[in-house]
């Protein structure tokens, strides 16, 4: 090309061809979606996706361009999956709370085109995904300041039919929300989720403000707004303040300036692609069994990013364990690791596969 104008004209001409090809491709995607609907097949087919990506890369003559084209095809397949989900009526995602809750904010970031479906409790989110009422569920898993959301980990353990297919780290800024015109001296009580209260403990102690836990930060904001009582305040996001007609009296009251909550995405469809995977296991109550598991993981060369333990339901003084490992879950070494852990542990199962 001799000039910038000529190059841009060439790009425009190619884009016009791509637009027509895109419509043609999406028509074929629609046919695939209708077939899957008729035969009860899942939207995501990991094996098929891997084959398509490899074929796509092989078509590009210029080796330097292959990874870019592979990313382009991956993006097209992601769009196709969104379209299939919408066509099949599966483009719904569950969260706990009401609009404006941190889980709702995370859901919108993860699934901008999905219908967000609210449930009162985490249990009901898990049940909705399990029944197939929604394709996904978004729930908090841990916070950088307050630690694990133990109830969610217990629900993961109690729902072996569900998988963790993605994670999302949401920076959290907890704000003190009040009715318009309220002064700090008027406040007598604060309402929020237990995690938000824990994250704002230093501020609450400083101003001697008692706090009551509610199921959700956004529910707390809604309660304060509907109460009309200037002695009440909520701890929640600035987005929630705008939704319910409240003011941010004091911004960023959380103790940890780098406050982040990690959300997990639940699905009935087993994932296979990622650079992290998580396991749940139980052990016989014998000396050295946990050390043996850690040694097995180390021998296979996996970096263990997290390990947690929780009491087993209805079994006094017995525990289950959660570990997150760095590595390719589809590698032969992972299959070998799981086989060896199957001999070492009383029970072991793959919980999640995702990319971080």
Handedness of CA 272, 148, 193, 158 (dihedral sign): positive
How much is the pLDDT for 90? 67
Q: How far is CA 216 from CA 68, 75, 102, 192, in A?
A: 42, 34, 9, 6
Asked whether residue 88 carries a pLDDT value surpassing 70, the answer given is no
**Cα–Cα distance for residue pair 206/26, rounded to 1 Å:** 58
Q: Quick one: average pLDDT of 199-222?
A: 94
DSSP 355: -
Write down the CATH number for the domain with range 4-87: 1.20.59.10
**Cα–Cα distance for residue pair 225/135, rounded to 1 Å:** 32
The CATH homologous superfamily for domain 175-253 is Periplasmic binding protein-like II (3.40.190.10)
DSSP-based three-state secondary structure for 51: helix
Asked whether residue 1 carries a pLDDT value surpassing 70, the answer given is no
CA 211 to chain centre: 28
Q: Quick one: average pLDDT of 336-348?
A: 95
Asked whether residue 44 carries a pLDDT value surpassing 80, the answer given is no
How much is the pLDDT for 30? 85
Predicted TM-score (pTM) of the model is 0.72
Closest CA relative to residue 176, chosen from 159, 160, 189, 166: 189
Domain coordinates in residue numbering, the chain: 4-87, 175-253
Cβ-based neighbours of 301, under 8 Å, separated by 6 or more: 327, 333
**Cα–Cα distance for residue pair 162/349, rounded to 1 Å:** 11
DSSP 40: T
Domains 4-87 and 175-253 share a fold: no
């Amino acid at each position: 090309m001799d000039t910038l104008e000529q190059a841009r004209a060439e790009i425009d001409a190619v884009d016009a061809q791509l637009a027509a090809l895109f419509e043609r491709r999406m028509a074929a995607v629609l046919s695939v979606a209708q077939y899957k609907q008729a035969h009860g097949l899942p939207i995501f087919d990991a094996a098929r996706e891997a084959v398509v990506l490899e074929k796509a890369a092989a078509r590009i003559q210029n080796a330097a361009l292959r990874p870019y084209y592979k990313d382009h095809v991956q993006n097209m397949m992601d769009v196709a999956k969104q379209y299939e989900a919408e066509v099949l009526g599966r483009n719904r995602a569950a969260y706990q709370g009401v609009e404006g809750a941190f889980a709702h904010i995370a859901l919108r970031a993860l699934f901008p085109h999905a219908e967000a479906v609210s449930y009162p409790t985490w249990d009901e989110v898990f049940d909705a995904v399990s029944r197939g009422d929604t394709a996904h569920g978004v729930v908090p898993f841990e916070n950088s300041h307050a630690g694990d959301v133990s109830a969610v980990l217990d629900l993961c353990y109690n729902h072996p039919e569900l998988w963790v297919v993605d994670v999302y780290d949401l920076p959290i800024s907890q704000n003190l929300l009040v009715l318009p015109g309220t002064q700090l001296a008027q406040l007598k009580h604060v309402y929020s989720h237990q995690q938000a209260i824990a994250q704002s403990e230093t501020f609450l102690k400083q101003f001697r403000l008692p706090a009551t836990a509610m199921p959700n930060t956004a529910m707390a904001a809604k309660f304060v707004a509907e109460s009309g009582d200037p002695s009440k305040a909520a701890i929640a996001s600035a987005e929630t303040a705008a939704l319910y007609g409240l003011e941010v009296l004091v911004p960023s009251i959380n103790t940890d300036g780098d406050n982040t909550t990690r959300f997990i995405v639940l699905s009935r469809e087993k994932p296979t692609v990622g650079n992290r995977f998580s396991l749940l296991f139980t052990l016989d109550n014998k000396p050295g069994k946990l050390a043996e598991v850690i040694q097995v993981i180390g021998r296979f060369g996996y970096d263990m990013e997290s390990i947690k333990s929780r009491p087993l339901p209805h079994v006094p003084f017995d525990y289950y364990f959660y570990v997150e490992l760095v590595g390719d879950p589809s590698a032969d070494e992972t299959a070998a690791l799981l086989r060896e852990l199957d001999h070492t542990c009383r029970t072991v199962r793959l919980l999640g596969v995702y990319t971080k």
